[in-house]
Amino acid sequence: MNPFSYAREFTHPMTKSSDFLSTMSRLLVLATFLLSLPCLAWGAVEEEYFGIYLPSGKVGYMHVRKDTGAVYAGKPAVCTENETQISISVLGNVAKTVSKTVSYNDPKTGAPLATQARSEAAGRVTTVSATYADRTVSYVADIQGSKKSGTLTLKPGESFLSDPSSGAESFVPKVGMEIGGKTFVAETLRLADEKVSVLRKESVVIAGAKSAELFVVQDRSEMGTVTMFVTPEGETLLLRFALGMEARKEPKNIALRLPSAEEISQRGDLAIVVGITPTGEPVKNPRTASSIRYKLRGSTGELPVSDNRQGITIAGTGNDRIATLAVTAKPLPSAAGMPRFARTGDAPADLRPFLSPSDYVSSDDPAFAVLAKDATDGETDLAKASARIADFVHRTIVSDSSIAVLRTASDINKDRRGVCREYTTFFTAIARNAGIPTRVCVGVVLVDGAFVYHAWPEVWVGPKNGWVALEPTWGRPFADATHIKLAQGEITDLYRVADDMGRYKIEVLK
């Protein structure tokens, strides 16, 4: 199979352990992206199998099936099905994720026609269906019971990313080849830029086999980077992802042979593997640290702009890029001197997105009006109400790392267990309903000598104090200066952090 027909689903939620933060409850769910057949006769069907591995051992499989004689909406189509199962040890639990994606492409042009995706973890199911027209894509989603639908339109000059291997001509990789366009991202329900590049030819040894000269094909998007190793005939033998995860082409009986729960547990906990040991000055009392400067290396994505809590300067480019961060933590003021916003329209325009519901922050659910009333207990001051909600959330959510899936606030309200992402999502939904501008922060925090991945909320408490970071997960009075933001806005922004996991290096300055 050649690389131009995979669509992918990355899921990188952050977690905390029962006493403190850990990192990811689920590394990623691979699905269809850039994998298709080189040149098949009309009506041909072919299946391929891949074993999925971390450096410590096997964690799952991927099954790809392609039918060039399929039919969609009464017209000929190329159908690619991808089924993936991954089980990883996280915080003492074996987290299992199962996904299936079915995509249809035009057999002549390779243009996308439709996509259907389903993912399940810990009994939580999300389904997304999308249909493409000339300049639009319309979707219907069921995110753990929350219904969403909409239509997205390309801007002038934009086009959808097409799969050239779905066309009549066979695909032959050539160094320097680039294909770009917009793709619909099922996890975030939005359009994103995507670019596929044939970088070079390289001698590669796969699973101890004889060295082979393969094309190195890279796909980059906001969901992460996939590097594929492709034969001159267009057959993909190996895919590489963040944190050393690989998908290796294998015979069916080997690929589908899964390790036992005991074997997975013996291979090490992912939460420990992804920790970042800092260099530089020691931080003796991280929970009370109020001001620290850092150097961050290995970040390839866009970092949050400077604000009253975290200043940033960037020097260099590419592998030499260094971000200098100055984090100043301050506790929530005893009072903001400003009331909560009664309506979203009463807030300045730049704050309105942080008072509005989003795909996972279902603050418009009527249940959150009741929760906001109970949590604030009549307090109208922005700061005082924020403190009451933080305390309410800390007392309400029970720490539990067994639900390894990104959840909506409504689902969390029905089953109040979870880790930092649940505490943060739940807090954000209640606070936004209560008229408090709130944004989600995703990044790292120092715990037991290592920076581990974490999520926490920030609230806006007036022009004098600006944004203040809270720590409802731990029940702390404020988020200390070892909380480094790598992305901010919504809980789905954690996907923008995932691609650099395993590459971050942190040096603590004064």
The answer as to whether 126 is a domain residue is yes
Question: Are residues 263 and 394 located together in one domain of the fold?
Answer: no
The answer as to whether 5 is a domain residue is no
Question: Are residues 230 and 368 located together in one domain of the fold?
Answer: no
Question: Are residues 315 and 435 located together in one domain of the fold?
Answer: yes
DSSP 431: H
Question: Are residues 179 and 328 located together in one domain of the fold?
Answer: no
Report percent pLDDT > 70 for the chain: 88
| Mean pLDDT of the residues in the chain | 85
The answer as to whether 183 is a domain residue is yes
Question: Are residues 342 and 430 located together in one domain of the fold?
Answer: yes
Of 267, 292, 310, the residue at which a domain comes to its end is 267
Question: Are residues 58 and 205 located together in one domain of the fold?
Answer: yes
Query: Rounded to whole angstroms, how far apart are CA atoms 183 and 238?
Result: 23
| Residue with tokens 């969609």, as numbered in its chain | 72
Question: Are residues 148 and 196 located together in one domain of the fold?
Answer: yes
The answer as to whether 110 is a domain residue is yes
Q: What is the pLDDT of residues 25-64, one digit of tens each?
A: 333 333 333 444 333 334 578 899 999 988 888 989 999 9
Q: Which distant-in-sequence residues (6+ apart) come within 8 Å of 173 by Cβ?
A: 2, 3, 198, 215, 217, 230, 232, 234
Of 237, 267, 297, the residue at which a domain comes to its end is 267
Q: What is the pLDDT of residue 483?
A: 97
Per-residue confidence band for 304, with pLDDT thresholds at 50, 70 and 90: very high
- pTM higher than the cut 0.85: no
Question: Are residues 164 and 303 located together in one domain of the fold?
Answer: no
Q: Which distant-in-sequence residues (6+ apart) come within 8 Å of 17 by Cβ?
A: 91, 271, 399, 401, 419
Amino acid in position 189: L
For residue 463, give its domain range: 279-508
Question: Are residues 261 and 284 located together in one domain of the fold?
Answer: no
Question: Are residues 159 and 181 located together in one domain of the fold?
Answer: yes
User: How many domains would you assign to the chain?
Assistant: 2
Question: Are residues 354 and 421 located together in one domain of the fold?
Answer: yes
The answer as to whether 103 is a domain residue is yes
The answer as to whether 272 is a domain residue is no
The answer as to whether 217 is a domain residue is yes
Cross-strand bridge partners of residue 141: 128, 148
Q: What is the pLDDT of residues 238-257, one digit of tens each?
A: 998 877 888 999 999 999 99
Which CATH number is 325's domain given?
Answer: 3.10.620.30
3-state secondary structure of 11: coil
Of 224, 240, 267, the residue at which a domain comes to its end is 267
Q: What is the pLDDT of residues 117-163, one digit of tens each?
A: 998 888 889 999 999 998 999 999 999 888 999 999 999 999 999 86
The answer as to whether 207 is a domain residue is yes
Amino acid in position 230: V
Are 497 and 443 contacting, i.e. CB atoms less than 8 angstroms apart?
yes
Question: Are residues 460 and 386 located together in one domain of the fold?
Answer: yes
